[in-house]
Each structure stands twice: as structure tokens, then as C-alpha cells.
Amino acid sequence: MKIHNFSAGPSILPPEVLLQASEAILNFNDDNLSLLEISHRSKPFVDVMEKARASVLELLNLEGKGYKVLFLQGGASTQFLMVALNLLEKRAGYLNTGSWSDKAIKEAKIYDDIYEVASSKDAKYNYIPKGYDIPSDYDYFHCTSNNTIFGTQMKEFPKCSIPLVCDMSSDIFSRQLDFTKFDLMYAGAQKNMGPAGTTLVVVKEDILGKVSRKIPSIMDYKIHISKSSMYNTPPVFAVYTSMLTLEWLKNLGGIQAIEKVNDIKARLMYSEIDLNPLFKGYASKGDRSLMNATFNLINDDLKETFDTMCREGGISGLNGHRSVGGYRASMYNALPLESVQVLVEIMSELETKA
């Protein structure tokens, strides 16, 4: 039976990427050595790192525009600290749209004055705040583009006279944006780019080096840039698999092509949620995520029946986050349209049984 993987992360990867990555574990680059045992400073892996970084700039249309690409460790959670250490001198503004932005605020507050310019915490993060002001004397403004737990997504980003920083962990490479608007973007790989273990950072180099504090070497973006993401041993397998996924995306036609597929999947999913009287969406309609559709059963008495139908249909990873409950269909780039069709058919069938 085919499994339809709706996991929120670590998430589904393209089958051809999994095949290539598994082959590399046994014999990488036809050298009869495993990818897991080669030197990270050997030419074959240096080539992988360079190709991965170049692919990021190509896909985001940032080539020749002053941006540097890093593959680091520690997840997006470490970036909550690194952003503040590298950019925060006096004060910064944060948009609080979910659990991860809330955690980013908490970590940054260790270092200096952090202000919430707006928050949707009052409604359990089921919408994206709008109409807020960003003071021009802040060191930077931080936002989270997509909120996996609550199923909301920023459709527009504010115009800033200060550096714009964005956590794009769960929707990077999924839709077309003018990425030159952002001065620093970061994303854990394990949703749209690769396996858990590496974190992508794309930073405009000219915003760095302006804070007066001493930055620990391992937390200093400039040092990682100078060492080409190899200041310490990089997560070789995660970087290699991310490189393969980026190549897969380029071969599909890039972000422009995958965005069309993602739109179709999301429209199909939300149409069923809205038309089926047994279900109700969690997020505000205008702020719904293309990546994570959150919804609940109107009648919890049907939960056991629905869960059984999903299990028999090969649906995996559909349970909502513990803080929200209900269900969450994560529809990242590698999830095929067929999987969404199967889920929608099961939801429709439940209506006929109820």
C-alpha cells in the first residue's frame, strides 16, 4: 500500500532524491566510499557544498546581489540566537504569529530590548496581524513567513527601512517572492529542502559586522561565510540530500513551477474543508497556509471512524499539533497531488457515511 505522508516535519522527500541519497551512503561519487565516511574537506564534498549554495541563489534569483549562503547546524532554534547576536545593538521588532516566533522573541530578549510590533496570540494564532507600524530606529524586524502549527501564512511582507529578517523554515522554495526584500532568511531543511540536520541561512553580507558586542566564533555569520560553511564539520548527509532536492526542484522548473502545483493542492484541500459540513478550518481564510492546512471535525464522535479510514487509505502524519488538536495536512513541495486527492476522497466518503 502506498503511504501518503502528510507529516509536518521531518517531511516527505522526492523518491528520486531518497534513491540517490541512499546510493551515496554505500558508494559516493563512484569512489567506493560512503558519503558518511569521506572527508568534508575532500574535493567531492566541497563540490557538493558549492553546488548547494549556488542552487539556493539561483532558485531565489539572488545571484550577484550581495547575498551569501550558509549551511549550518542547530536548527532554526539556533538562529533565534544568532540573529540577535549578529544584528541586535539596541532594540528590534518582532511579529508574533505562532509558537516559533514566540520562541524567537524569548531567545532574543536575552540580549537586549525586543518589542512585539503585533501579535495574534489573542486568538490562538489563527490569523496574521496587519496594519502595524515598524519604527525606523529598530535594528531589524523579524517575522515568520509560515506557521506550521496553526496553518497561517504571510501573504504580504512589510516595506522596511531597516533589515528584514524572516524565518522561512516551512515554506521556503514553495512560492515566488521578491527575495531581495529580505536581508536575512533562515530555514530548517527538514520541511521543503532535505532531512533534519542542517539549517539554511541566506544573508545580505553588508548588514553584518555592525554590532559592538563580541560574538562567539561559532555564532558569527561572518566567520562562517569566510570559511564557506566549513568552520566546523558540516552535516554532510543533510547538505548532500538538500543539494539533491534543490536540483530536483530546478529540474521541475523551479519555484514558479512548484508554486502552481502547491496552489492546486491547497485549493483542493481547502475546498473540501469548506464544503464538507463535517469539517471546519482552523486558520482565518485570508491567512491560510499553502503548506499546512489545519482543520477539525465538527463532531468528535466521528474521529475514530475518520482515523480508521485514513489509516486504511495509507494516510500518515495527519494529526494536528498537540497545542491545536484536530488535523494538519502538510503539503510540502514533494507531496504529490495524488496524496491530497486521496485524503479529500476519504473526507468526502466520511460525509456519505455520517
- Catalytic residue set: 100, 167, 191
Tally of CB atoms within 10 A around 196: 15
Q: Please tell me whether residue 344 adopts helix, strand or coil conformation.
A: helix
316-242-149 Cα angle (round to 5): 40
With contact defined as beta carbons under 8 Å apart, do 87 and 207 qualify?
yes
Rounded CA-CA distance 294/283 in Å is: 7
Rounded CA-CA distance 286/90 in Å is: 35
198-204-208 Cα angle (round to 5): 95
Contacts of 307 (CB under 8 A, 6+ apart): none
Rounded CA-CA distance 280/274 in Å is: 7
DSSP code string of 39-93 = -TTSHHHHHHHHHHHHHHHHHTT-TTTTEEEEEESSHHHHHHHHHHHHH-SSEEE
With contact defined as beta carbons under 8 Å apart, do 179 and 156 qualify?
no
DSSP 212: -
Helices (H), 146-232: 221-226
Residue type at position 343: L
Beta strands in 151-193 (DSSP E): 152-153, 164-167, 184-188
Q: Which of 180, 176, 152, 133 is nearest to 294 (CA)?
A: 152
